[in-house]
Structure 1
Amino acid sequence: MAANDGEEDATVSLVDVLEEDEELENEASAVLGGSDSEKCSYPEGYVKRQALYACNTCTPKGGEPAGICLACSYKCHEGHDLFELYTKRNFRCDCGNDKFGEMECKLFADKENVNTGNKYSHNFFGLYCTCDRPYPDPEDEVPDEMIQCIVCEDWFHGRHLGCVVPDCVELQEMICQSCMNKTPFLWNYAAHIEVPSITKVSPCKGEEDVKVEVENDEEEKIKNENPKSPADVKEETEGSSEEGSCSGCRLREMKASGRSQTLQGAVFWPSAWRTKLCTCADCKILYADAGVSFLMDEMDTVLAYENKGKSTEQAEQAGGAEGRDPLMSALNNLNRVQQLEIIHEYNDMKTELKDYLQRFAAEGKVVTPEDIRHFFEQQQSRKRRRANAGQYYCTCCLLHE
């Protein structure tokens, strides 16, 4: 259904709106990953991965860092200044414990004083990257994406990673230079399976960009440092690992190959790179000692977490498919004038909602259910004031017809 030629530039079709709404819902579901918006996650213990928030109102900078689950961000911290932390692994909700003084969690009051297994960073005070700046940063005029390290889970500006960010970064995982140096054995893997880059870049804390050329002709390096062909090395390193046995340790063979890696900058890993990690008994101990045993878990990835959220959303949509029929049926029964009225209503609401939400984005605040209710209450108030001027139609009315 489309508007007439004179209306095309000023309006959007209902199909466009519904498709855009569905896309936004899928993105939100991916971020929330099936997190419960009604129940505090504390009883679940240290959740494998969940959406987290920090409350700048209750635990501001200078105090103890604390993280809260999705449900508590809605129920216990409504109207507060929240930092959205995206996801963290193995975290237990802090809401209402000793870090919050006299405040108690409204959803689950019987909590321990401190969650000793939680790990915190400057992210919990709204600061990120090696430059220790907020995001969005009102003082930063350089357009730059933020990328999360899968080990420390901090977020970094692309220009502060010490390397060139490869294309299609959303399909890869990144480990920052600091975490690589804390797990030096990963440099051996990087020499074999890292996503290649042309230059290393190391600007930070206001420094000018400095580029250092590095070798990137990997096949030439293998030829000079190892008499075996790249195909031979690949076959040996990928086919020699045996579960629970050190006789075929893949990491040991990588070290023996003589293939080296410049120990500089963050490392970007290709899709499914975790499956190439050795899982022999010695390597498992190595991962545990370094605190990175999660690297052996393919379901630990943010991609797996997001797919979980998308699958949940798709299942809910499939189960409620019949719920959409009354709306589409009602639209099909309206005449042309009524359809255009609804298109205008959608277009106006879409513009006003974007303007309303932009204020939250500019201040880095989380949008709460109460904020959304307030927006639609304002919309209804405007419609009531316009009611005497003539009849109008809204989708809310149509759903009840």
Structure 2
Amino acid sequence: MVDFDALITQEAFQTYPFRIDKCSYSQGYVLQRVYRCLTCNPAAEGEIPRVTCYACSISCHAEHEIEELWLKRSIRCDCCTVDNTSQCFLENEKYPVNEKQPYLDKNSKDYHNYFGKFCFCDSSYDPEKETREMLQCISCFDWFHDSCIEQNIDLESFDSFICRNCVPNFQPFLEHLIGLEANHPCTFNSNGDCYLQEEWRSKVCRCPNCLTFEREFPFLFSEETPYDPPEDVILTPAENLMDGVFNKILTDHQNDISSLPQPAIIDAIHEYNDLKTEFNAFCNNFKDKIISEQVSKHIQKFFEEFKAKKANKVN
């Protein structure tokens, strides 16, 4: 018999690996994954879009139409601000409008991303239909089809990509990289796009002239670390046992869960949090004992009582 509760729970944590109980607003303007809720804010290009953080996209907008914008630099969650039409369930108060959001600059090179458009071709992204590879510019964070950059491009031949729209911003810096004799860490194609080889940052010049770029473009000198919420699962040995069971179920019945609605996955996250907390406390009673038949009976009784408690809660 398939334990679908366990199956859904494991799928939930593979899809949503981070905690969803804290909005990222307090982090300020940071590099983070953001989403746009088309239900709450169906803004057309030229209007003001709004973005939500990872946690709010799930906890506050689970049943809405969500569009992922991927990583954006120096951006803040709008979910708990006064101009958001829906309620933020993770913050108790409404904060002032974010006045430094990058999408407020209509001349920014990735401006069209906030309205679901990407690449030089200004096309929408449909994950169910798109077959081309896409590359993200490390400067503007726009995404580009490989075929729009260069025909027959070898995606394994370079580490980082800077689009032709951004290259003029630091042309002297990149020309210096090209001028280095060792391994040529930087190359251009005929369109002006720039390809950076592996470990290119280790070859970056730090003379006074080049360091002037560091203040404005720090990502050229050191790799950026995006903000992520804390991971939701920190497994104890007992939880590892449970996780192994869930993985086995998931592997055997992957197709059974392919059409599960998002709310079911999110509900499972909360159910698993409850189960994890109670099971941890339960296992502390046996941490110094050998797993015996008697202990196994206690474990079986724990799950029976938890299941009964869950049923009473639903009723």
Is the 8 Å Cα contact of residues 36 and 66 (structure 2) preserved in structure 1? Answer: yes
- Structure 2 distance, partners of 1:69, 1:278, is 36
Is the 8 Å Cα contact of residues 170 and 213 (structure 2) preserved in structure 1? Answer: no
**Unmatched segments (≥5 aa) in structure 1:** 1-17, 30-34, 194-232, 239-253, 255-259, 332-342, 358-366, 377-396
Pairing 1:161–2:149 present? yes
Deviation at 1:51, TM superposition (A): 1.9
Count of matched residue pairs: 258
Deviation at 1:43, TM superposition (A): 1.0
- Three-state SS of the structure 1 residue aligned to 2:118 is coil
Name which of 169, 180, 188 aligns with 1:182.
169
What letter corresponds to residue 76 of structure 1 in structure 2?
A: C
CA 1:314–1:64 in structure 2 vs 1: closer, same or farther (change >3 Å)? closer
Pairing 1:219-368 to 2, within 5 Å after superposition: 233-234=181-182, 264-288=191-215, 291-298=216-223, 300=224, 305=226, 316-317=234-235, 320-325=236-241, 349-354=253-258, 356=259, 368=262
CA 1:191–1:371 in structure 2 vs 1: closer, same or farther (change >3 Å)? same
Is the 8 Å Cα contact of residues 19 and 232 (structure 2) preserved in structure 1? Answer: no
CA 1:398–1:166 in structure 2 vs 1: closer, same or farther (change >3 Å)? farther
Deviation at 1:134, TM superposition (A): 1.5
CA 1:111–1:60 in structure 2 vs 1: closer, same or farther (change >3 Å)? same
Greater RCO (Cα-Cα under 8 Å, separation 6 or more): 2
Deviation at 1:77, TM superposition (A): 1.6
CA 1:99–1:117 in structure 2 vs 1: closer, same or farther (change >3 Å)? same
Is the 8 Å Cα contact of residues 83 and 124 (structure 1) preserved in structure 2? Answer: no
- Structure 1 distance, partners of 2:54, 2:253, is 27
- Three-state SS of the structure 2 residue aligned to 1:85 is strand
- Structure 2 distance, partners of 1:139, 1:324, is 37
- Three-state SS of the structure 1 residue aligned to 2:117 is coil
- Three-state SS of the structure 2 residue aligned to 1:87 is strand
Is the 8 Å Cα contact of residues 284 and 293 (structure 1) preserved in structure 2? Answer: no
Name which of 347, 350, 372 aligns with 2:265.
372
The residue that corresponds to 1:55 in the other structure is 37
- Structure 2 distance, partners of 1:69, 1:346, is 28
- Structure 2 distance, partners of 1:152, 1:115, is 19
Deviation above 6 Å: which 4+ runs of structure 1? 137-140
Question: TM-score normalized by structure 2?
Answer: 0.65
The residue that corresponds to 1:39 in the other structure is 22
**Unmatched segments (≥5 aa) in structure 2:** 1-6, 104-109, 270-299, 305-315
CA 1:322–1:139 in structure 2 vs 1: closer, same or farther (change >3 Å)? closer
- Structure 1 distance, partners of 2:139, 2:57, is 25
CA 1:70–1:58 in structure 2 vs 1: closer, same or farther (change >3 Å)? same
1:43-74 alpha-carbon deviations (Å, 9 max, x no partner): 11112x22211111122232312211112112
Q: CA RMSD in A?
A: 4.2
- Structure 2 distance, partners of 1:37, 1:273, is 36
- Structure 2 distance, partners of 1:313, 1:175, is 31
- Three-state SS of the structure 2 residue aligned to 1:43 is helix
- Structure 1 distance, partners of 2:267, 2:124, is 28
The residue that corresponds to 2:279 in the other structure is none
1:182-235 alpha-carbon deviations (Å, 9 max, x no partner): 321244145357xxxxxxxxxxxxxxxxxxxxxxxxxxxxxxxxxxxxxxx439
* Structure with a larger share of its residues in helix: 1
- Structure 1 distance, partners of 2:301, 2:119, is 48
CA 1:346–1:180 in structure 2 vs 1: closer, same or farther (change >3 Å)? closer
What letter corresponds to residue 65 of structure 2 in structure 1?
A: D
Pairing 1:106–2:112 present? no
Name which of 51, 61, 71 aligns with 1:77.
61
Is the 8 Å Cα contact of residues 174 and 268 (structure 1) preserved in structure 2? Answer: yes
What letter corresponds to residue 234 of structure 1 in structure 2?
A: A
Is the 8 Å Cα contact of residues 81 and 94 (structure 2) preserved in structure 1? Answer: no
- Structure 2 distance, partners of 1:135, 1:372, is 24
Deviation at 1:88, TM superposition (A): 1.7
- Structure 1 distance, partners of 2:179, 2:132, is 29
Deviation at 1:325, TM superposition (A): 2.9
Deviation at 1:92, TM superposition (A): 1.1
Q: Could you tell me the percent identity over the aligned residues?
A: 27
1:27-54 alpha-carbon deviations (Å, 9 max, x no partner): 864xxxxx5421111111112x222111
Deviation at 1:279, TM superposition (A): 2.4
- Structure 1 distance, partners of 2:256, 2:268, is 9
The residue that corresponds to 2:159 in the other structure is 172
Deviation at 1:154, TM superposition (A): 0.8
CA 1:277–1:314 in structure 2 vs 1: closer, same or farther (change >3 Å)? farther
Question: TM-score normalized by structure 1?
Answer: 0.53
